[in-house]
Amino acid sequence: MQIEQINNKILELSNDWCKHKNELVSKNMIHNLETKIHNLETIIARQDILTNNQINSNDSHNGLNEFIRFGELTTKSSQLTAGSEKEGCYLVQPTLHQKIVGGIKHKSPMRQLASLELISSSALDTVIEDNEFITGWVAEQDDRAETKSPTLLRRKIAVHELYAQPKATQKLLDDSNINIENWLIERLEDSFANAENKSFILGNGISQPHGILYNPEEYGIEIILCHKIDLEALLSLINSLDDYYHANSTLLMHRTTLAKIQTIQDSSGRFIWQPKLSQNFPQTILGIPVICASDMPTTQLTNDSIPCYPIILADFKLAYKIVDHAANIKMTRDPYTEKPFVKFYAVKRVGGDIVVSKAIKILQFSTKTKQ
């Protein structure tokens, strides 16, 4: 009798376990199904977003393409307008604007080196210290003597209008096999990058950025004079820069100047120039990264009365600031003034100036021998 009761109890427990097991399996299955449904809904929602973005992107690209080829402002390109259709002036769509700006940075050495600031006004006001703060040690209960404070200078970096004006024949624009949008973007990138980089190095500050080599003495930048680009001159330049700025310093020069330095050896017969090994290991001179810019002066002097500054050593991120206006690039199509060409007049606003002169050292080359 007891054995039978025990068997019945075991059977009852077994049935209960199977029941709970089935319930647990069902709950797990339901949970898994709910998770799968949620994931599918998320994927579908993302696809809708991507599709809408793609449609908007395609509309903007198609609208710009129609504007370039035919000068027409359609419904698709209405989002590009910055004025009335009669004015014929259009604001480049933000995605295309960023594409152009990215291309300019890739082609501009100074944009790669300097710090960048985006503003919505006509100028950026900066405060510059002409001296360091003075500090001192003191005991816990000693009087604190006054320390000398640096003079704070206000400097305004204005943005200036920079224009580019590529042109093409109507026959070229009518050719549907040509990606006319990419053609125009590449022309704008080249034009803007060349003009910007030259102004960041040599600009006089009048209706253009103030270049890093324009009257550097006025900014208190130390000039290292040399009569030959050799190891001694390079060591003098490098050792003149304060240790604080050395860690992030870069040498900027023309490629012909670099070609001369590439043959220089140290006292042990080792070349002071080392080639680029990878993206993270750029070419160096005496361990300092080197970047070449075609707008840097060369040592091929024809008139020694004009100072020649072939090499800049600086922590450019601290030393020089480039200011971009937040407004997108404006573009006008002109098929009338230079027939049979169609001109595209594009405008952007940019400025630049020196902000930390102590972070810059310049090598001056002169053919005049010491007296």
Q: Is 334 helix (H, G, I), strand (E, B) or coil?
A: strand
Are the CB atoms for 57 and 95 separated by under 8 Å? yes
- CA angle, corner 258, sides to 256 and 261, nearest 5? 120
For the chain, the average pLDDT equals 81
Task: Report whether the peptide linkage leading into residue 340 is cis, meaning its omega lies within 30 degrees of zero.
Answer: yes
pLDDT on residue 332? 86
Indicate whether 90 pLDDT > 70.
no
Q: Which domains does the chain possess?
A: 82-127+147-210+322-354 (3.30.2400), 218-320+357-365 (3.30.2320)
Q: Which residues contact 279 (CB under 8 A, 6 or more apart)?
A: none
- Model confidence band, residue 262 (pLDDT cutoffs 50, 70, 90): very high
Alpha helices in 108-223 (DSSP H): 109-113, 170-174, 180-202
Is 131 exposed, middle or buried (CB count within 10 Å of its CB: 0-12, 13-18, 19+)? exposed
Indicate whether 267 pLDDT > 70.
yes
Indicate whether 33 pLDDT > 70.
no
For residues 26-46, give the mean pLDDT. 67
Residue of 185, 163, 164 whose CA lies nearest to 68: 185
pLDDT digits (tens, 9 = 90+) for 93-114: 777 788 888 899 999 999 999 9
Residue 77, number of CB atoms within 10 A of its CB = 20
Q: Which helix (H) or strand (E) holds 27?
A: helix 2-70
pLDDT on residue 13? 65
Torsion on CA atoms 245, 248, 252, 258, rounded to nearest 10: 110
Of 59-63, 116-120, 219-223, 301-305, which gets the smallest average pLDDT?
A: 59-63
For residues 7-25, give the mean pLDDT. 64
Q: What percent of the chain has pLDDT over 70?
A: 70
Residue 154 backbone dihedrals phi, psi, to 5 degrees: -95, 130
> Higher model confidence: residue 156 or residue 28?
156
For residues 293-306, give the mean pLDDT. 80
Burial 335-370 (b: 16+ CB within 10 A, else e): beeeeeebebbbebbbbbbbbbbbbbbbbbbeeeee
Q: How far is CA 160 from CA 196, 208, 294, 300, 350, in A?
A: 11, 6, 22, 32, 5
Assign 3-class secondary structure to 120-140.
Answer: CCCEEEEEEECCCCCCCCCCC
Of 28-32, 179-183, 274-278, 317-321, which gets the smallest average pLDDT?
A: 28-32
pLDDT on residue 347? 92
Indicate whether 147 pLDDT > 70.
no
pLDDT on residue 281? 86
pLDDT on residue 138? 72
113: amino acid identity, one letter = L
Q: Which residues contact 127 (CB under 8 A, 6 or more apart)?
A: 152, 153, 154, 155
For residues 187-207, give the mean pLDDT. 94
Please provide the distance, in angstroms rounded to a whole number, between the alpha carbons at the two ends of the chain: 128
pLDDT digits (tens, 9 = 90+) for 50-80: 554 444 445 555 666 777 776 665 544 444 4
Are the CB atoms for 296 and 101 separated by under 8 Å? no
Most confident of 8-12, 60-64, 173-177, 343-347: 343-347
